[in-house]
Amino acid sequence: MENWHKEAIVYQIYPKSYSDTNGDGIGDIRGIINKLDYIKSLGVNTVWLSPCYPSPGDDNGYDISDYRGIAPEYGTLDDFKEMLDGMHSRGIRLLMDLVVNHTSDEHEWFVQSRKSRDNPYRDYYIWRDPVDGREPNEWVAAFGGSAWEYDELTGQYYLHLFSKKQPDLNWDNPKVRQEIADMVNYWLDMGVDGFRCDVINNISKDFTRPYAGGNGPRLHEFLHELHERALAPHKALTVGETWGLTPAQALELTSEARGELTMTFQFEHLLLGRVNGDKFDPEPLDKKAFVDILAKWENGLKDDSYPVLVMENHDQPRALSRFGDLKYPYESATMLAALLFGMRGVPFIYQGQELGLHDPTFNSLDEYRDIETINAYNELKASGRFSEQELLAKMQYGSRDCGRTPMPWDTSENGGFTSGTPWIKTQVDTGFTVEEQEKDENSVLNFYRSLLSTRKTEEALRDGEFKLLLNENDTSVYTRSADGSTVYVVCRFADSECPMPEIVPENATVLLNNYDSFEKTLLPYQALWLKA
Ligand code: GLC
Ligand code: CA
């Protein structure tokens, strides 16, 4: 495993909502090609592209029907290669999305598999007999309902941890593992640099558990095998989407000696503001816990593992709406960026995050597109416990669609995203477009640019040791140190002032500041990177 991941700064593109060039209302690969100079200008050096493979679109491309193709609505394989060349010629690497816990039910393997019990593809998926005329166990799918779907034709149930149009692959079958390794090699041979691995710790199931999920007994074996067969020979970078791990489990998956994954996401801080992590059940944000959790992971992934720094992606509402303050949109969005991206690890920035976007407003259920949101709404409605207004407030708080509306490029209709009718509503707010922020020296966009360039030039900010010095009364201070140089990261996580903490050196050099002044008072949502 090469160490290039330590230098990576990743920009996530959700292709459906990035830029549409043919007026069908759906973003496309040519749209990404047109924006490559913009992407480069941010200071990122890696792109993670959410799935662009052929898909019936039950879960916006996370239900793949052909692992080796490009969805016609996004373009052709030639467009894809042109995009990849365009990235490489600008020094940008490409991570594709590897969705191999499940396929679409319209994938040829599943079409075959469901035909008969003795079809050669039967064991590509997980089929079980009914137990007492019912589902084989109590497992519930992530998008609601049982994780088992009965198939009349053969009288068995198949497992789907997500929607019933996303049957789970049977990784215990060696043929499945070889097919996946061959497919991974196909993209790596084409020049792709690595993968973000969708719900990857689910590929080995633990059927002894009462609730659905992964981290099963063969997880490490499967990942190591894929690493040997495809990833290692190409020095590919992988980042695992792994919910619910402890730092110790993450270390097991990523420590170099084991040869499994390069890195894993940690999302523990993204569960805050939600009762028991339920995204549709709001509670006030515990700001101290937010910083403490991040520090726990910084401390837990020392030595031969490198953390991932993330607060937004296509599954999350916008960070500004969740953790920031809409009365201080610039200050709180930039403070959150300085707080998170001052830490040791690979920054992941989701499209639109660099503009400090907040959630769009959804006025009714039919403005939503996400299967998870629609299913949750229907389930909660059927419970009879909530009024229509309460239901809509819940969806507004937690829906994945909050982060999926089109990128606002300019102040023209539909934000310059499309000349047609966008596939999902577009919200364009004054001051929150690329066009406006390009011109404004003090925009979130230009703050991200200075933040990223400072990170690259300061040794201590790259691999330097992390130490949390203070986290109380909505103020936090941590340091990053390497080779005798120390950077202090000082953040005010509140809409009020406070005295500058005494541990902050007075005569430090300001590397980054979201206000003009650095004095004896820390201003509302002020964030500073100081070099001692
Ligand atoms: C991951 C993806 C999410 C998708 C799910 C099933 O969590 O990020 O968008 O719905 O996996 O593939
Ligand atoms: Ca299009």
Question: Final residue of a domain: which of 447, 471, 487?
Answer: 447
168 falls within a domain: no
Tell me if 97 CB under 6 Å of ligand 1: no
Mutate to test the pocket of ligand 1, among 199, 202, 264, 312 (most ligand atoms within 8 A of CB): 199
CB-ligand 1 contact for 493 (6 Å cutoff): no
Q: Are residues 91 and 124 in the same domain?
A: no
Domain containing 503 equals 461-531
pLDDT for the residue numbered 256: 86
Task: Assign 8 a pLDDT band (cuts: 50, 70, 90).
Answer: very high
**Dihedral of the CA atoms 257, 261, 262, 268 (nearest 10)?**
-120
155 and 220 fall within a common domain: no
Looking at the fold, whether 275 and 360 belong to one and the same domain comes out as yes
Two structure tokens written together for 468: 């949390």
403 alpha carbon, closest ligand: 1
The length of the chain in residues reads 532
Rounded CA separation 322/90 (Å): 34
Atom number in ligand 1 closest to CA 400: 9
Q: What band does 2 get if pLDDT is binned at 50, 70 and 90?
A: low
- Considering the domain architecture, whether residues 114 and 93 belong to the same structural domain is answered as no
Structure tokens at 140: 């519930």
- Do 442 and 478 reside in the same domain of the chain? no
Ligand 1 centroid, distance to 37 Cα (angstroms) = 29
Q: Does residue 401 contact residue 370 with C-beta atoms inside 8 Å?
A: yes
Residue 474 clears pLDDT 50, i.e. is over it: yes
Picking from 20, 184, 164, the residue whose alpha carbon sits closest to that of residue 103 is 164
Residues whose CB falls within 8 Å of the CB of residue 500, separated by 6 or more in sequence, listed in order: 490, 519, 520, 521, 522
The domain that holds 473 is classified in CATH as: 2.60.40.1180
Ligand 1 close to Cβ of residue 148 (< 6 A): no
**Given the CA of residue 59, which atom of ligand 1 is nearest to it?**
10
% of the chain exceeding 90 in pLDDT:
96
> Which numbered atom of ligand 1 lies nearest the CA of 161?
6
Closest ligand to C-alpha of residue 265 is 1
CB 62 near ligand 1, within 6 Å = yes
287 and 324 part of one domain: yes
Beta bridge partners of 38: none
Amino acid, single-letter form, for residue 373:
T
Q: What is the pLDDT of residues 159-200, one digit of tens each?
A: 999 999 999 999 999 999 999 999 999 999 999 999 999 999
* Residue 198 near ligand 1, beta carbon < 6 Å: yes
165 assigned to some structural domain: no
Rounded CA separation 266/465 (Å): 19
Residues 300-322, mean pLDDT to the nearest whole number = 94
Show the tokens assigned to 348: 């992941």
| C-alpha 365 – ligand 1 centre gap (Å) | 21
Tell me if 168 CB under 6 Å of ligand 1: no
Q: Would the pLDDT of 270 be above 70?
A: yes
Q: Which of 100, 151, 111 is nearest to 128 (CA)?
A: 151
Given a cut of 50, whether residue 203 has pLDDT beyond it is yes
Which ligand ends up closest to the CA of 21?
Answer: 2
Residue 321 lies in a domain: yes
Which residues on neighbouring strands pair with residue 448, listed in sequence order?
none
Read off φ and ψ for residue 286, nearest 5 degrees. -90, 100
Protein residue with its CA nearest to atom 4 in ligand 1 = 62
For residue 386, what are its two tokens? 């909530």
Whose structure tokens read 């937010």?
Answer: 290
Same domain, 472 and 518: yes
Task: Report yes or no on 453 lying in a domain.
Answer: no
Q: Using a CB cutoff of 8 Å and minimum separation of 24, what contacts does 176-180 make?
A: 176/124, 177/222, 177/225, 177/226, 178/229, 179/109, 180/100, 180/226
Q: Is the pLDDT of residue 491 over 90?
A: yes
Give the model confidence (pLDDT) of 396-429 as tens digits.
Answer: 999 999 999 999 999 999 999 999 999 999 999 9
Query: Tell me, what CATH number does 77's domain have?
Result: 3.20.20.80
- DSSP assignment of 122-152: GGGB-EE--BTTB-SS--B-TTSSBSEEEET
Q: Tell me, yes or no, whether 167 lies in a domain.
A: no
| C-alpha angle 203-159-380 in degrees, rounded to nearest 5 | 105
Nearest listed ligand to the Cα of residue 27? 2
Average pLDDT, the chain: 97
| Three-class SS state of 468 | strand
Answer yes or no: do 476 and 411 share one domain: no
Q: What is the 433 CA–ligand 2 centroid distance (Å)?
A: 20
Q: What are the residue ranges of helices labelled H in 65-113? A: 77-89, 108-113
Rounded to an integer, what distance in angstroms lies between the CA atom of residue 29 and that of residue 19?
8
Where among 447, 471, 499 does a domain terminate? Answer: 447
Shared-domain flag, residues 154 and 182? no
Write the pLDDT tens digit of every residue in 58-117: 999 999 999 999 999 999 999 999 999 999 999 999 999 999 999 999 999 999 999 999
Confidence tier at 213 by pLDDT (50, 70, 90): confident
Q: CA separation (Å) from 171 to 39, 156, 449?
A: 37, 19, 42
Q: What is the DSSP string of 478-500?
A: EEEEETTEEEEEEEE-SSS-EEP
Residue from 16, 315, 348, 374 whose mutation best tests the ligand 1 pocket (most atoms within 8 A of CB): 315
Residue 169 counted as domain residue? no
Same domain assignment for residues 146 and 190? no
58 CB under 6 A from ligand 1?
Answer: no
Is position 366 within any domain? yes
Give me the pLDDT at residue 4, please: 86
CA of 76 to the centre of ligand 2 (A): 12
Count of domains forming the chain: 3
The domain boundary residue, chosen from 447, 472, 507: 447
Query: How many angstroms does the Cα of residue 385 sit away from the middle of ligand 2?
Result: 41
Q: Does the pLDDT at position 138 exceed 80?
A: yes
At residue 1, the pLDDT reads 42
Side-chain-facing half-sphere of 39: CA atoms under 13 Å: 32
Write out the two tokens for 525.
């949502």
Residue 209 alpha carbon to ligand 1 centre in Å:
22
* Percentage of the chain exceeding pLDDT 70: 100
Q: Give catalytic residues, as residue numbers.
A: 198, 241
State the residue for tokens 């196909």.
186
Whether the CB of 474 sits within 6 Å of ligand 1? no
Global confidence as pTM: 0.98
Question: Do residues 484 and 516 lie in contact, with contact meaning Cβ atoms separated by under 8 Å?
Answer: no
pLDDT in the model for residue 59: 98
Domain containing residue 153: CATH number: 3.90.400.10
Task: Tell me what pLDDT residue 39 has.
Answer: 99
Does one domain contain both 97 and 136? no
Which phi and psi (to 5°) does residue 448 adopt?
-60, -40
Same domain, 23 and 67: yes
Domain annotation covers residue 10: yes
CB of 99 closer than 6 angstroms to any ligand 1 atom: yes
The interaxial angle of helices 219-226 and 247-254, nearest 10 deg, is 30
Residue 162 in contact with ligand 1 by CB distance below 6 A: yes
